[in-house]
Amino acid sequence: MSRIVAGDPSQQWRKTDTSLGFATYVNVKTGNCLTGRGITGFPVVTVEKCFAGNTRQEWRLGVSGDFQLRANGLIAQVNLSSPNQTGVVMGGIFTNQPNQKWHTHPA
């Protein structure tokens, strides 16, 4: 995970709704999907080949900014102990901390 660089296609994602408020996020540059491995506390958010119906590739952005993985309900959060705070780990429950909040930018 890197700092925001405007116009960088590797930082752009195409959202496709699935069901129940979840969606897949496909990277514009690689064509791969944002994928959660689902183990609390490990840096296991990756970008992998997309597979329809894979609940490890379905996410829901909540109204509070939480980004929840459909497979197990865990949320993505910035790893505050990683160098430059650039890693993403799967957290437990949403506790409204700044490192647990995500947002989108208009296209």
* pLDDT tens per residue, range 55-82: 999 999 988 889 999 998 888 888 777 6
What is the residue extent of each domain of the chain? Answer: 9-97
The pLDDT tens digits for 30-61 are 999 999 876 655 557 888 999 999 999 999 99
Domain 9-97 belongs to what topology? Trefoil (Acidic Fibroblast Growth Factor, subunit A) (2.80.10)
Roughly how many angstroms between the first and final C-alpha of the chain, as a whole number?
A: 20
Query: Rounded to 5 degrees, what are φ and ψ at 44?
Result: -120, 35
